[in-house]
Structure 1
Amino acid sequence: MSIRAAALSDRSQAALTPGIQYFFGIEYNNLEKLCNICGLQSRDNPHTTPEAHHEFLQTYQSVFIQPTNVLPKIPELIVNRYYKKPSIAESVSDIHAHRKKLLDRKAMEDIPRHFQKKIKILIKILKKLPFHRSHSERLKTYKILSLFPAVNSRFTDEELKQLSDQIMMESWVKGSTVYGDLAFYMILKGYARPHTMVSDKRKVEYLDFWFQSTPKVLTCGDSFGALSTNSHQKSNNVLSVITEEKCEIIKISRGQYEHVKKDLMLHDQSVKEELIQACPFYQQWPKLSVNKLVELIKWKNFPENHVLVKEGEISSFAGYIKTGYCYIFKDIEILKKLSLGKMQSVVKHIIMGKLQEKESFGEISIILKKPFTCSIISGTDVELGVISADDLQGLDPVNKILLQQTAQPILGNLTQEEVNNRYISLEKKKEWQQFKETVINQTISYKGIRPGIGKWKHDWNKKERPKGKATQSF
């Protein structure tokens, strides 16, 4: 059998259908012998001899190339009769290699595949210097870093946004000691073992990795180091590590963190100062008095339809609306007609106005200890600058007098007659709106103009049959 036939047999043997006999080619040498048999029928010989016929049937199958079944190779059995006991150095190196494989496998199994891709993207971005990164790369850095619990527990969202623009990555070779006394570190690639830790008594302890009962290895996503000078953020915090292989580690220095905190604090103070000075009652205030209120303000968010102040109660805080708006409600008692001619007294809430952005409420109620004459409910999700009642009462007498002279109570001069007239106008407006809607709906649906509504319904999906020509009758 030729080489080409053997290749064809190996390539096509898997595609053969069982029960059908196939051939992969023709052996032309045997075909020539078959044609040259003496005694076969030809022009000169009208009949075939029995000997030629017998020889033809014997050599006929050899013309076609048949596939051959290749049996698998029998592996050679190698027996090692001599066992050599490994030395102590070889056994220790084997333990190190086996331990490294287990740690690598565990580290890769703990991290999902989609998260591994994000870590690779982050490492690629952080290899560039901060001033070489584009705006989209800085945004990706912030989004990926916010997925790590070690980062979210240490930094606020605003701090992380600022730090992601200037964060750096360091590469450490195997066996390096990384000290985190003056920075925050987080491992992105590789693993390391703790070297020093801070105990519950705020003392630095050196760890012996080999004699620990439960050794802990820091892998991807684990952090170490401290950013505060006076005390560490939590006990048993790892201060320094020794790398077990080449590691890629994120670093945030203490100077960077303090600089970002100072910038955010100055920005927050400027926003609070602008908010107070934009309120109508504080536009003529001196800057020194405004700064006193800026020190007391804290940001707080409230959901929609949240009751901020109830009517008849003293406010628990003074609020300065940064975003959103609030409704001013007033309670009124009316008589409602029931069945059988009976009357019942019902309390209804009337919208008397709205508090927009850059407006405040609650100062006079706290300073003069007067209950509110109305209720304030948030119309949307609102963000307020809040000063608690205790902090506002703790102001110096000069600023208290200044508050009494400038601030005004909400709906302070409102009479009961004005409230009644407001309720009557709202009810008339409501009745007129209902009357208009009723008339319009009756007019539209009078002849069934809209499909599906009215006295008659029409199936628009059904095709009408074409009408034929009328025939004349005689």
Structure 2
Amino acid sequence: MPLQTNAIGLQCGGNRIITGIDYSRLEALCRTSGLADCSDSKSTEEAHKDFMSSYQKIFLLPKKASPHVPLQSNSRPTYVPWGVQHGGNNASWDMSRSHSHGRLTQDHLITHTLKALRKLPIERSQTEQQTIRRVLNVFPCLTSLLSRQELHQISTIAVLESWERGQTIFGRHGLYLVLRGTVKLHPQEVARTASKTAMIGVGGCFGSLEEQGAGEVTVGDVGEVTQCAVTQDNCEILRIPSTAYAKLRQEIEAQKSALRQSVIQTCPFYLHWPKLSIKKLSDLIQMRHLPANHALVRQGEVSPFVAYIRTGECNILQDVPGLVGKLHRKKGNRVRYVVVGTLGPRESFGEVSVLLDQPSPCSVVTATEVKMGVILPDALKGLDSVSRALMLQTARPSHGERSQEQMNRMYVAQERQKEWVHIKKRVLSDALFYNGIVQGSGKWSRGRRIQQDARSQPCPSSL
């Protein structure tokens, strides 16, 4: 067996790399007859040529690795990160990966939606209804045709139809939304001309939500009157029946009308109104949702609308001009006001100001989020004289008249109460800080935190 030296990777002349020396060949080379030794100091010419031609064979060269398939029987599997295997350092690969993940998520959602749509509307669960609404809100052709409330309830009447390739779909029975496949629309004007046809893919719709007669046609999303469509593939098409949609609109309108009437009827002053007058007044109402600290009416100006509060509270403010005292020695023309009352649910304001075109004696500002029904002055102009007279008779002032002296006293009491609350809060915070008590920490909060952690931990018997 050849022996190797400890020097690995020696470099000789000619840029050759040797890994060791074969001592068996070196010993055989030294036994060559004719070489110089202790008895003969000169080598023969023939022995010298043999030595020079074969001495290079004593050096061991690195073996060339031949192509082969590595055996995996005795080797352990090596973990390689997923991103390294698939080019994790490549930005384009990461982008395509995220796009493919989005497509997979979208396909998964559409698959679940199709599965839910294959059931009858009465058999769908609340979760399936929410999944259908989530998908239908993505299609612009539906969001442009339906209101928000209609989109929320359209999943209760939508049905899924499966069509094979080459079948004809007549669009006079409702609105058709393509979920899978493609269809070809036929405009009525050029029904015989194949070059004028239009292709509709996923997300396109044709048909109409309005009920059509026997001789009428429907309208497609290409802007032309279309009568039928031919499927180019096996298609999954969502159909919204026009008759069911008409009933749904009637139900939604009835719910809105009942809500508007309830807003008026809950007010005590309108409790004994006849139903016909309430119906006329409710048709003029618009529902609004306003945030807190929103000025509804300004003192000295005509009210912009008649309001009926459904939920929330409003403050009635009145200006206090010409007040001079110890509490107000600062320079400036700041408008001072005092809270003279509040308005809550089942109350109204603005009738007299709008009908008689009079400036409001006070300001109204929302204290919380308020939901209310409002009637604009232009809408009240078309109201009959009987209903207008009833509104003037039933309207009551929001607060009684007060003298200037009473207003000054109320304002001083209000400012003193504000100052007292401010002083009490400051003294309490200083006392807590002096004693090293910080809000949100300490033994009491620690005890509460331990109790909360104990409640959140599972019971040992359940493990």
* Residue of 373, 377, 383 corresponding to 2:365: 377
Q: 1:216 to 1:350 in 2, by over 3 A?
A: farther
CA RMSD, 1 decimal: 3.2
* Residue of 115, 140, 143 corresponding to 1:124: 115
Show the counterpart of 1:193.
Answer: 184
How far residue 205 of structure 1 moved from its aligned partner, in angstroms, is: 4.5
Counterpart residue type for residue 150 of structure 2? E
In 1, are the aligned partners of 2:141 and 2:205 still within 8 Å (CA)? yes
Task: Kindly provide the CA deviation profile for residues 97-144 of structure 1, in whole angstroms up to 9, marking residues without a partner as x.
Answer: xxxxxxxxxxx99x9432222111111111112222222212221222
Show the counterpart of 2:292.
Answer: 304
Counterpart residue type for residue 164 of structure 2? V
Counterpart residue type for residue 294 of structure 1? S
- TM-score normalized with structure 2 length: 0.66
* Residue of 187, 191, 201 corresponding to 1:206: 191
- Count how many residue pairs are aligned between Structure 1 and Structure 2: 340
Query: Is residue 224 of structure 1 aligned with residue 206 of structure 2?
Result: yes
SS of residue in 1 equivalent to 2:203: coil
Q: Matches of residues 10-409 of structure 1 in structure 2 within 5 Å?
A: 69=67, 112-196=103-187, 204-206=189-191, 208-209=193-194, 211=195, 216-228=198-210, 236-237=223-224, 239=226, 240-334=228-322, 344-409=332-397
Q: 1:336 to 1:149 in 2, by over 3 A?
A: farther
Show the counterpart of 1:422.
Answer: 410
In 2, are the aligned partners of 1:279 and 1:358 still within 8 Å (CA)? yes
Query: Is residue 449 of structure 1 aligned with residue 436 of structure 2?
Result: yes
In 1, are the aligned partners of 2:277 and 2:387 still within 8 Å (CA)? yes
Q: 1:207 to 1:369 in 2, by over 3 A?
A: farther
SS of residue in 2 equivalent to 1:224: strand
Q: 1:298 to 1:431 in 2, by over 3 A?
A: closer
Counterpart residue type for residue 202 of structure 2? C
Q: 1:173 to 1:401 in 2, by over 3 A?
A: same
In 1, are the aligned partners of 2:179 and 2:202 still within 8 Å (CA)? yes
For 1:438 and 1:298, the matched residues in 2 are separated by: 45
For structure 1, the residue ranges without an aligned partner over 5 or more in a row are: 1-18, 21-66, 72-107, 198-203, 453-474
Q: 1:342 to 1:127 in 2, by over 3 A?
A: closer
In 1, are the aligned partners of 2:186 and 2:198 still within 8 Å (CA)? no
In 1, are the aligned partners of 2:157 and 2:241 still within 8 Å (CA)? no
- TM-score normalized with structure 1 length: 0.65
For 2:272 and 2:110, the matched residues in 1 are separated by: 53
Counterpart residue type for residue 242 of structure 1? V
Q: 1:424 to 1:227 in 2, by over 3 A?
A: same
Counterpart residue type for residue 137 of structure 1? E
In 2, are the aligned partners of 1:138 and 1:165 still within 8 Å (CA)? yes
For 2:122 and 2:233, the matched residues in 1 are separated by: 29
In 1, are the aligned partners of 2:310 and 2:345 still within 8 Å (CA)? yes
For 1:451 and 1:410, the matched residues in 2 are separated by: 45
Task: Kindly provide the CA deviation profile for residues 60-116 of structure 1, in whole angstroms up to 9, marking residues without a partner as x.
Answer: xxxxxxx97459xxxxxxxxxxxxxxxxxxxxxxxxxxxxxxxxxxxx99x943222
**After alignment, is 425-434 or 224-233 more displaced?**
224-233
Q: 1:416 to 1:205 in 2, by over 3 A?
A: farther
In 2, are the aligned partners of 1:224 and 1:237 still within 8 Å (CA)? no
Q: 1:155 to 1:417 in 2, by over 3 A?
A: same
For 2:397 and 2:249, the matched residues in 1 are separated by: 37
SS of residue in 1 equivalent to 2:417: helix
In 1, are the aligned partners of 2:294 and 2:365 still within 8 Å (CA)? yes
Q: 1:163 to 1:435 in 2, by over 3 A?
A: closer
For 1:247 and 1:442, the matched residues in 2 are separated by: 74
